[in-house]
Amino acid sequence: MIISRVSPFTGKVNTMDLPITEEQIERWKRGAYAQDVWPDLTPSQREFLISGCTDEDWETYMTGALKSIIDEL
């Protein structure tokens, strides 16, 4: 299933093709834990479903945030 989500860090629309079903999405929306609904997905894939962030978004955000902290020291 093609899933598109907006990154809260960049505002960019990210898209992934994930082996998930509508039924699983509904279970998750009703409160099931992502790791229980999608145990076969990687942590990065589950994070994408939860937040819309990709590994690249995290690296970019965290690199920038850490650089800002270091620059302030």
Cβ atoms of 54 and 45 within 8 Å: the answer is no
For the stretch 23-70, pLDDT in tens is 999 999 999 999 999 999 999 999 999 999 999 888 887 777 777 777
pTM over 0.85: no
Closest CA to 43 of 30, 34, 32, 31: 34
Query: What are the structure tokens assigned to 31, written together?
Result: 């409160």
Q: In the chain, how many domains are there?
A: 1
Domain assignment of residue 43, given as a range: 2-72
**In DSSP terms, which residues pair with 14 in a beta bridge?**
5
pLDDT, position 22: 97
